[in-house]
Structure 1
Amino acid sequence: MTQDTSGIVAHYERHALAWDCDRRAAAWTDKAPIERFLACLRPGATVLDLGCGGGVPVAAHIAAQGFVVTGVDSSPTMITLCRTRMPDHEWIVADMRSFTSDRRFDGVLAWDSFFHLGHDDQRRMFPIFAACTASGGILMFNAGPAHGEAIGSYRGDPLYHASLDPSEYEALLSENGFELIAHSIGDPAKGERSFWIARRSPI
C-alpha cells in the first residue's frame, strides 16, 4: 500500500475542533509513557512538542509539571486553542517536516503525530530531531509495532498511519547521535502505544 500523505495537514485543520473535543472527552490512556518521558528531564526543562494539537491533555500536563513548552502544529486552529489555554508558553504554526529552530530543547516529543508521516518523511525527521535536541536531551516518539502502512478513519475521512521496522528506528537513532533508553510495543498499560525514548549523545 502507498498513500499520499499530503492531505494530513488539511485533515487536521478541517477536523480541528472536533478532534480537540474528542481528545479532551476521552480517557487519557497514554499518560504513562508521557510520565516516563518527563521523568527523564530535569525540573523546569524546555520541551518541544511536535504535533501538539490543541494541547490537551499532553502539553497541558507537561506545562502543569513546571516544564517550559514550545508547541508546533500545522493546524492554525489547534495552535489558537493552545495560545488561549496556555498563553505563557510558545506556540508555532509549522509542519514538523520542515521545522527549524536556533534553539536546542531538553526534551523533544512527537506523540501521536510522527506516525502520520510516510516512510521517507519519517526517515528525514531524525536529523531534525537531532538538530532540535540539546546534548543529553531526551527524544520520545511513537509509531507502529512493525514496518507497514494503515488507513484509519476519522469522522468519515481516511487517516493515514505508517511505521518503519523497530530495527530501522534503532539504527536511525544511532546514526543521528541518540542512545536508546526504552522501547515498548503495544503495552496495554501504556495506552497500546509503541514508543521509543532515546538520549542525545553529548555534542
Structure 2
Amino acid sequence: MDPLKQADNYNQIAAHWASDKFNRDNGIAQHKRALQSVKHKQIAIDIGCGSSGRIIDLLLKEGFEVEGLDLSIEMLKLAKENHPNVKFYHGDICIWDFPKQYDFISAWDSVWHAPLTEQSNILKKLCNALTPNGVLIYTTGAVDEPGEGSNEFLGQMLYHSAMGIPAVLKTVTECNCICRHLENDDWPNPHLYLIIQRNSA
C-alpha cells in the first residue's frame, strides 16, 4: 500500500489512540526494558508517534528532549495538542532524513506499515541515526520469511510488511549494531520486538 494512502486511512481513525478506549500501557514495559541499556539520556525520537503520546510521556519522564515523526496529519494534530512543547515532523520515514543522531529511537508498531521493498532501508536508516551506544526499540512480524498483508481495523484497511527475522538480524549486524533482546511478546500473535544498540565505535 502507498504510504500516503496508509496515512489517510490513519487520519480517519486517529482519535482512537488518543481516547480511553486505547490501552496506554501498550509497549511501555518493553520500552522500560530498552531504556535500561541507554547510557546517555539526552535526545530521543518516536517514529510513527501517533496520537496517544504515551511513549513521548515516558521519554520525557526519563529526562530526554523528545521529538516525534508521523505521516498522518490527524495523528500529528492530536499529538501537538497533547505536547505543544515537543518538536514534531510530518514526513514519510521511507524518504525522510534524520536531522541528527539520537540516543534513543522508538519505532513501535509503526514502520511495519511501510512497503516491504522499503523495510531494509528503513531499518538501516534507524540504526545509522543512533549515537554511539544509542538504543533502538523496533517492532516487526515474528516471521522467518519476508511477507506482507492487510487487515481491517475500525473500518480502515491497514497494511503490514515484515522482512523476516534472519534478514532483520543480518541488517542489524551490517549496521554496526547488536541485538540486545528479541522477543515474540504477544504469542501466539506474531508480534516481535527487538532492542538494538549501536556499537560505541
Contiguous gaps of at least 5 residues in structure 1: none
> Is the contact made by 1:43 and 1:66 (CA closer than 8 Å) also made in structure 2?
no
In 1, the alpha carbon distance for the partners of 2:192 and 2:164 equals: 11
% identical equivalent positions: 21
1:145 to 123, 133, 142: 142
> Is the contact made by 1:117 and 1:161 (CA closer than 8 Å) also made in structure 2?
yes
In 2, the alpha carbon distance for the partners of 1:131 and 1:11 equals: 29
Structure 2 residue aligned with 1:199: 197
Q: CA deviation at 1:156?
A: 1.5
Structure 1 residue aligned with 2:51: 54
Structure 1 residue aligned with 2:166: 167
In 2, the alpha carbon distance for the partners of 1:47 and 1:128 equals: 15
In 1, the alpha carbon distance for the partners of 2:41 and 2:27 equals: 22
Q: CA deviation at 1:170?
A: 0.1
Residue correspondences, number:
197
Q: Out of 79-88 and 66-75, give the one that drifted further.
A: 79-88
Q: Does 1:16 align with 2:31?
A: no
Amino acid at match of 1:202: S
> Is the contact made by 2:16 and 2:22 (CA closer than 8 Å) also made in structure 1?
no
In 1, the alpha carbon distance for the partners of 2:122 and 2:111 equals: 9
Q: Out of 137-146 and 63-72, give the one that drifted further.
A: 63-72
In 1, the alpha carbon distance for the partners of 2:87 and 2:37 equals: 22
Q: Out of 105-114 and 76-85, give the one that drifted further.
A: 76-85
Q: TM-score, normalised by structure 2?
A: 0.87
In 2, the alpha carbon distance for the partners of 1:156 and 1:14 equals: 9
Structure 1 residue aligned with 2:127: 130
1:98 counterpart SS class:
coil
2:94 counterpart SS class:
helix
Q: Deviations over 1:148-176 (max 9, x none)?
A: 22321112221111212111100011112
> Is the contact made by 1:111 and 1:142 (CA closer than 8 Å) also made in structure 2?
yes
In 2, the alpha carbon distance for the partners of 1:30 and 1:193 equals: 11
Q: CA deviation at 1:55?
A: 4.0
Amino acid at match of 1:13: N
1:96 counterpart SS class:
coil
In 2, the alpha carbon distance for the partners of 1:103 and 1:54 equals: 23
Higher helix residue share: 1
Amino acid at match of 2:149: A
1:106 to 103, 107, 121: 103
Q: Does 1:118 align with 2:123?
A: no
Q: Deviations over 1:108-134 (max 9, x none)?
A: 111010111222211111231133111
How much is the aligned-residue C-alpha RMSD, in angstroms? Answer: 2.2
Contiguous gaps of at least 5 residues in structure 2: none
> Is the contact made by 1:145 and 1:186 (CA closer than 8 Å) also made in structure 2?
no
